Structure 1
Amino acid sequence: MKITIVGSRYFGSAALEALLKDGAEIAAVVVPTADDRLKSAAEAKGIPVTVQVDPKVVPAGEIPDGTDLIVTAHSHARVMPDAIAKAKLGGIGYHPSLLPRHRGIAAVEWTVKEGDPIAGGSIYHLADRMDAGAVAMQDWCFVKKGETARELWERALAPMGLDLIVRVARHAREHGSLPAKPQDEQFATKAPKIKE
């Protein structure tokens, strides 16, 4: 099973390492900029890299033929429907919240701002609406009193995300399919960027 990773920075390169360690075959990596950490990590391992023409969008032409699964890891780009359709099993992403709660770019910040006692992470199917696809797998953790968003991310949500990505990719490899449970829209909340 061939995976194409669409991602960036620390989390993208950590996801690459975690998937390789679990025996996944990485077809290619798609990054937003030429100086990205994930690009360097992939090139060091001889994995083909595509730098997005538009950092906000991933069209079908940037996903290599023969991709079975697209995995997004710290990507703020919209993977277009024709790109998702190009992969046999479609695409999945990690979102650092218990979806449908805190959909948006600042999920961890809103978890702290709202005083949620419990946080979590979700692997969801890439879909037309941002963070709204069916959930493949979730996990949760407690939030420490006084913990900042960055502390919560580093302590619990980033490691949880890597673990969930590996578990869902392994499930796809072993079963040729992905779990999918629709999100309950009545519990959806938004997590837009917080103005300083």
Structure 2
Amino acid sequence: MNIFLSGQGAFAVDVAEAVVENGHKIIGVASPRQRKTHSYAGDDANPMTWDRLRSWAYPRGIDWIPSLDLRAHHIPDGTDVILAAHSRAFIGRRTRARARVATIGYHPSLLPLHRGRDAVRWTIRDGDRVSGGSIYHLTERTDAGPIAAQEHIIVPRNATVESLWREHLAPLGVRLIVRVLDDLARDVRIEVQQDEALASWEPAIGVPPLFKPELIELPGSVAVRGDRWALNGF
């Protein structure tokens, strides 16, 4: 299938390589304009500043677009799947409609638990003993679309945010993405609705609070500890 990949960093590159290795074709990518940390701030012409996914795409002749600029007209004709792999950009309805088969993303939690951009950090902060990853169909509500695949892991003792992501949840994400793409290529489409009675959402750590009414203003929602929202007291 023809894949448009929106993502960033090492995880997006791992996904890109796995997707190609499994016989699919990446026909466009979107990533941040520059790396998070480098010594050439503001110099977009210097490849040393580029995000890893952009650097991966360039020698392969794959078109790149800054993820914050991504719109429907940037998705090439013939795109089967739009894939979000550690993507920070919201992919809107018109953009999603450009995908012939599906628009899917990976979230490093057992959705509907730990919706939000810092799921791994909250897993460690909350002392969860079980975690996992979810492939879900993107919708207008962030991290709330139907589940296409999900798998759990036991959180190792003394795990850190970095070790849990790099050693467990990132590799799991690559495997699940490949599995779902292979399913979709065989016309197997799985959509399991998330149980809103179990949903939880946490704000990003270290950045100003983000007002997301579609995540937190739901029937039965209550505020907890002043920095989190949960449903039915979860």
- Residue 163 (structure 1) aligns with: 175
Cα deviations across residues 27-65 of structure 1 (Å, max 9, x unaligned)? 11122215111011112222222234xx2x632122111
Residues 1:134 and 2:146 are matched in the alignment: yes
Q: TM-score, normalised by structure 2?
A: 0.79
> Where does residue 18 of structure 2 map in the other structure?
18
1:17 partner letter: E
Aligned residues: 192
**Which residue in 2 is equivalent to 1:38?**
53
Pair 1:7 & 2:7 matched: yes
Aligned residue type for 2:73: G
**CA distance in structure 2 between the partners assigned to 1:58 and 1:178 by the alignment:** 26
1:117 deviates by 0.7
Cα distance in 1 for partners of 2:181, 2:115 equals 22
Q: Distance in 2 between matches of 1:66 and 1:50?
A: 17
Which residue does 1:119 correspond to in 2?
A: 131
Distance of 1:188 and 1:58 partners within structure 2: 29
What does residue 104 of structure 1 align with?
116
Cα offset, 1:124, TM superposition: 0.5
TM-superposition CA deviations, 1:67-101 (whole Å, max 9, x none): 11100111110001000011112310000000000
Runs of 5+ in structure 2 lacking a partner?
35-49, 208-234
Q: Which has the higher contact order (CA 8 A, sep 6+)?
A: 1
How far apart are the structure 1 equivalents of 2:175 and 2:60? 21
Displacement of 1:123: 0.2
1:50 and 2:61 aligned: no
Structure 1 segments unaligned to the other structure (5+ residues): none
**2:92 equivalent in structure 1:** 80
- Report the Cα offset of residue 113 of structure 1: 1.1
DSSP-derived class of the 2:61 partner: coil
Runs of 4+ in 1 over 4 A off after TM superposition: none
How big is the shift at 1:130? 0.5
Q: Which has the larger radius of gyration?
A: 2
Instruction: Report the Cα distance in structure 1 between the residues aligned to 2:182 and 2:61, rounded to whole angstroms.
Output: 22
The one-letter amino acid paired with 1:26 is I
Q: Does 1:143 align with 2:155?
A: yes
What is the TM-score when the length of structure 1 is the normalising length?
0.93
- Kindly indicate whether the alpha-carbon contact (under 8 Å) linking 1:89 and 1:178 is maintained by their aligned counterparts in 2: no
Quote the offset at 1:141 in angstroms.
Answer: 0.6
AA at the equivalent of 2:31: V
User: 1-side partners of 2:120 and 2:152: how far apart?
Assistant: 13
CA distance in 2, matches of 1:51, 1:169: 24
State the AA in 1 paired with 2:25.
E
8 A contact 1:104–1:131 mirrored in 2: yes
What is the RMSD of the two structures over their aligned residues, measured on CA atoms?
1.4
